Amino acid sequence: MIRLTAVSLPLDYESMPLSRFAAKRLHVPESVILSCTLARRAVDARKKDDVHFAATLDVTVSGDEVSLVRRCKGGASLYAPPTYAFPVCPPPSVRPVVIGSGPAGLFAARMLAKAGAKPLLLERGAAVEERAEAVRIFRETGVLRADTNVQFGEGGAGTFSDGKLTTGIKDVRCRAVLEAFAEAGDAPDVLWQAKPHLGTDRLCRIVKNLRRKIVEDGGVVRFLTTVTDLIVKDGVLRGLRLRTPEGEEEIACDTAILAVGHSARDTMEMLIKRGVKAEQKPFAVGVRIEHPRTMIDRSQYGRFAGHPALSAADYKLSCRLPDGRGVYSFCMCPGGVVIAAASEEGGVVVNGMSAFARDAVNSNSALLVGIERADLQSDHPLAGVALQREMERAAFMLGGGGYRAPAQLVGDFLQDRASTACGEVAPSYLPGVTFADLRDCLPPTVAQSLKAALPVFGGQIEGFDRPDAVLTGVESRSSSPVRFLRDERGQSSISGLIPCGEGAGYAGGIMSAAVDGIRCAEWALAPKGS
């Protein structure tokens, strides 16, 4: 197979055969091309008068591939797709347990089930409670049109996720994850998008299908089940104590994959008390910023904004301030909404999401400031959690209760004054915002860094620091502030307990978490002591 890179495709290329573009690059008649598939496609908008797609094509030909590659003089190479095969291991005598059903937990359980290990997947959330409320919120915020028919999965995982599948890691397991998502959601586009995006509406169906596969292969899923303690003997995991709707329960267990996510603070505290070794991990906090989607589209696409072949535009911004502190955009949601993401009473947390169509009125992203060890003023592993909680409770108070979020216009934020009303940009957060001064819920260093960075970003995207852009706080859960240590076999300081995914400090998004889930499943089935 020949891989062709940096192939320029017009925005309306879908009306033409891809083989035509491959033949032109290889300098051969189109009849020589036996097959041509799209491997990757990205928008190239560096020149606003020539917005097009930059593609990677995988091609088979009837001639000598080696000589064709040599003649092409760049942008062509012989290519063999990487493959991943889960190691063949005998099923364990005791059913392995996966704690948590986010991307790390789901993929760990999926691979264990495929290997015949019949895992027990524990989900502390409800099976059906979120569906009607989620649909209501999506429709009221414009994420879904009123006539859109949505069938949500039966569990809480993924309900309020944007479904971004971008990652910076290079791992052969990535392709296996993408293929699983594509199959579960009938979403082949994630296999070739440069920035794959499932959308909340598709992701909910995908989660349900992934879970169904686990059950079909012998796994068991239990909802409303929380791990409250570990049963340990001589440093080895022997069982788990659970809280269920029927009461307290103990189960035997010598292998547990801990994939609880970055917000399971009660579980983190239990693990520290149990002596599981952990350390502070770099993280970041900040706010969400909202602009009109049409403004972001124009800034990125120029006169091509609104072209039917182009989805809502995204961006990625970062700067290093004179004091060395970094500020950056994160989890950018084109045509999306700001959502509530609190997991504790008396705290306000915001996040962002988009449906697959990405056609809501606003676009938003997190604006985050890196937190350093000196900011925490404590060596305790959960000092970062304490800072997050302090911010979230201050945001709850500033919002006036009822889980309303505090909000401020960029112009007022830059002028050190509280806001009283919105301008052209209407905040999308529900159950609503209370205009205030966000400095009252942000650490001073974070507020100062955001104030310094906004004009810098305004120089990169025209209108980014427009006075009526809306800041909503607080975005405190971008990543876990703690890492539970594991050795080269994945084992924590308690043998048999395998920390996994974002909550354990080993991932930073859906893809990296899913990959880590597969990796942890491999460790879980490895012979003891190997």
Is there a domain that residue 510 lies in?
yes
Is there a domain that residue 155 lies in?
yes
CB 160 within 8 A of CB 9: no
Is there a domain that residue 86 lies in?
no
Angle between helices 18-26 and 65-72 (to 10 degrees): 70
Please report the pLDDT score of residue 72 as a whole number: 87
CB 331 within 8 A of CB 314: no
Please report the pLDDT score of residue 20 as a whole number: 96
Rounded Cα gap, residues 345 and 520, in angstroms: 32
Rounded Cα gap, residues 11 and 307, in angstroms: 8
- In the listed set 475, 495, 517, which residue is the last one of a domain according to the structure? 475
Residues 178 and 210 in one domain: yes
CA dihedral 354, 355, 356, 359 (to 10 degrees): -80
Residues 29 and 126 in one domain: no
Please report the pLDDT score of residue 444 as a whole number: 96
Rounded Cα gap, residues 207 and 218, in angstroms: 17
Q: Which domain holds residue 441?
A: 282-475
Residue 265: what residue type?
R
Residues 332 and 382 in one domain: yes
Residues 46 and 112 in one domain: no
Task: Specify the pTM.
Answer: 0.92
Residues 272 and 292 in one domain: no
Give me the CATH number covering residue 42.
3.30.70.2700
Residues 407 and 353 in one domain: yes
Please report the pLDDT score of residue 87 as a whole number: 87
Residue 201: what residue type?
D
Residues 35 and 156 in one domain: no
Is there a domain that residue 511 lies in?
yes
CB 431 within 8 A of CB 385: no
Please report the pLDDT score of residue 414 as a whole number: 98
Is there a domain that residue 453 lies in?
yes
How is residue 482 written in tokens? 């703690």
CB 474 within 8 A of CB 489: no
Residue 38, beta-bridge partner list: 57
Residue 382: what residue type?
L
How is residue 349 written in tokens? 């947390």
Give me the CATH number covering residue 180.
3.50.50.60
Residues 110 and 204 in one domain: yes
The sheet with strand 247-252 has its strands ordered as: 226-233, 236-244, 247-252
Please report the pLDDT score of residue 162 as a whole number: 77
Residues 102 and 222 in one domain: yes
Is there a domain that residue 158 lies in?
yes
Residues 70 and 108 in one domain: no
Please report the pLDDT score of residue 529 as a whole number: 63
Please report the pLDDT score of residue 372 as a whole number: 87
Residue 291, beta-bridge partner list: 363
Closest C-alpha to 220, from 109, 107, 103, 102 = 109
Which of the residues in the chain have pLDDT under 70? Answer: 126-161, 529-530
Please report the pLDDT score of residue 155 as a whole number: 34
Please report the pLDDT score of residue 148 as a whole number: 41
- In the listed set 16, 46, 78, which residue is the last one of a domain according to the structure? 78
Cα–Cα separations (whole angstroms), residue 138 to 106, 130, 337 = 24, 12, 9
Is there a domain that residue 512 lies in?
yes
Please report the pLDDT score of residue 127 as a whole number: 53
Q: Which residue has the tokens 């043998």?
A: 495
Task: Provide the number of structural domains found in the chain.
Answer: 3
pLDDT, tens digit (0-9, with 9 covering 90-100), for 37-78: 999 999 999 999 999 999 999 999 998 999 999 988 889 999
- In the listed set 78, 105, 127, which residue is the last one of a domain according to the structure? 78
Residues 317 and 400 in one domain: yes
CB 122 within 8 A of CB 256: no
Is there a domain that residue 89 lies in?
no
Residues 320 and 304 in one domain: yes
